[in-house]
């Protein structure tokens, strides 16, 4: 089952979710949703071992 990355990013933005993980096999599906997300510059990822990326929302970022 594919993740609803737009929903996950909205949950990050609202504070309902602290972080989520994207596996390497799912990155292209995430990337498509990411490019369409209005405040994508605040979605920050940290690379982990084996290609996993943990994303969180930067609420403190200034524009």
DSSP class of 35: H
Q: Where are the beta strands (DSSP E) in 1-63?
A: 20-22, 43-47, 53-57
Q: What is the pLDDT of residues 50-59, one digit of tens each?
A: 999 999 999 8
The C-alpha atoms of residue 60 and residue 44 are separated, in whole angstroms, by 12
The C-alpha atoms of residue 62 and residue 41 are separated, in whole angstroms, by 11
Q: What is the pLDDT of residues 3-46, one digit of tens each?
A: 899 999 999 999 999 999 999 999 999 999 999 999 999 999 99
């Amino acid at each position: 089952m594919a993740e609803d990355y737009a929903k996950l990013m909205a949950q990050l933005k609202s504070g309902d979710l602290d972080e989520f993980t994207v596996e390497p096999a799912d990155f292209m599906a995430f990337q498509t949703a990411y490019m369409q997300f209005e405040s994508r510059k605040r979605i920050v990822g940290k690379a982990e071992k084996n290609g996993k990326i943990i994303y969180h929302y930067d609420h403190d970022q200034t524009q």
